[in-house]
Amino acid sequence: MANPFAGEVTLVVNGEEIACRLTLGSLQGLDRGEGLIALIARFEEGRFGAGDVLAVLLAGLRGGGWRGSADDLGAAEIKGGLREALRVAGLLLARAFSLPEGADERGAF
């Protein structure tokens, strides 16, 4: 079960429930190319593509300890399909860059 206060979101890949999260190490992989800020802007503006969704999911899965590759994820069955993939990618970004509800600017409750 994912812990939303730790920025985690559950994704079911090939029947396996995985608690995904964007860690500093997994975010580093997203910061290549156009950069992380450009990626986040595309999500905020609704201009993201399948490659963006795949990149965020892969980063989240790796942050949760998954050892698969981008090709593995591209060929995987995601429970809930595209809609669930989009939902999880958006939540991963939102939880990584916002404070939990009720927390102050230091992250304390």
Cα gap 78→105, rounded to integer Å: 35
In sequence order, the 6+-apart residues with CB closer than 8 A to the CB of 55 are: 29, 30, 39, 70
- The answer to whether residues 2 and 87 touch, using CB atoms and an 8 Å cutoff, is no
Which residues on adjacent β-strands are paired with residue 17? 12
Q: How do strand 9-13 and strand 16-20 relate by DSSP bridges?
A: antiparallel
pTM: 0.87
Q: What does the pLDDT look like over 13-43, one tens digit per residue?
A: 999 999 999 999 888 888 877 788 999 999 9
Q: What does the pLDDT look like over 30-88, one tens digit per residue?
A: 887 778 899 999 999 999 999 999 999 999 999 999 999 999 999 999 999 999 999 99
Of 75, 60, 56, 76, the C-alpha closest to 13 is: 76
Look up residue 98 and give its amino acid: S
